[in-house]
Amino acid sequence: MLIWSDYFKNSIIVGIDIHKIDIEEKNLDKKNIRVHQGSQNDKKFINEIINQYGNFDIIIDDGSHISKDVKKSFHLLFPILNNKGLYVVEDMQTSYNHFFGGNSFDLKYSNTHMNFFINLTDRLNYQEIANPFYTTKDYDAQITNISFYHNLVFVRKGLNNTVSKEVLNHSYEDMKFQEKSDRTGNKLRYYLKYKIFYKSYTYSLFILYFIKKIILFRF
């Protein structure tokens, strides 16, 4: 906090810690530093911080490093991050440590905070998902960049609503039907090709993968 206080001299640096901090002992009695005692997974406490300070430009999670706390804090705080702001999570190595709620035995499908941020990359390209059954997810159109470094994750917030060039309303078939029929005027031919044949193929894949998810308990 002292580093941020010196670097961002014209900003308010807000810190929270689950333990009582002696401000004078830690030399944190600076005019642009505020310290509050509370837990990062306490929704009531976090909302009190939000109500007091409003939105933030940079949020850094260097807290408990426990998977459930990291994810809960993101859900609570990302909505009040300003556009073009950065959300940073430190010490991501605990995602691979079961003593912190991590999982080193099922890396790909574990419910860790690393996998949470890996899956969050789909929010960058949600417009391109060619699944006619796709429903809007949290953080669609709200993230412009996610960067992974050794034990660090940076998420930049911003408007991300670029229209796809390949799918229309999450349907590749609808986009191609519209393009081809508008260009040639031959609606019947392309209706049969894209709306009937191609879409039947897509539906069959949807059913196949849905059954696979049920068998493997992957939801």
Active site residues: 65
CB-count exposure of residue 24 (10 Å: 0-12, 13-18, 19+): exposed
DSSP class of 165:
S
Alpha-carbon distance 157 to 144, whole Å? 6
> How many residues are there in the chain?
219
DSSP class of 3:
H
Alpha-carbon distance 33 to 23, whole Å? 10
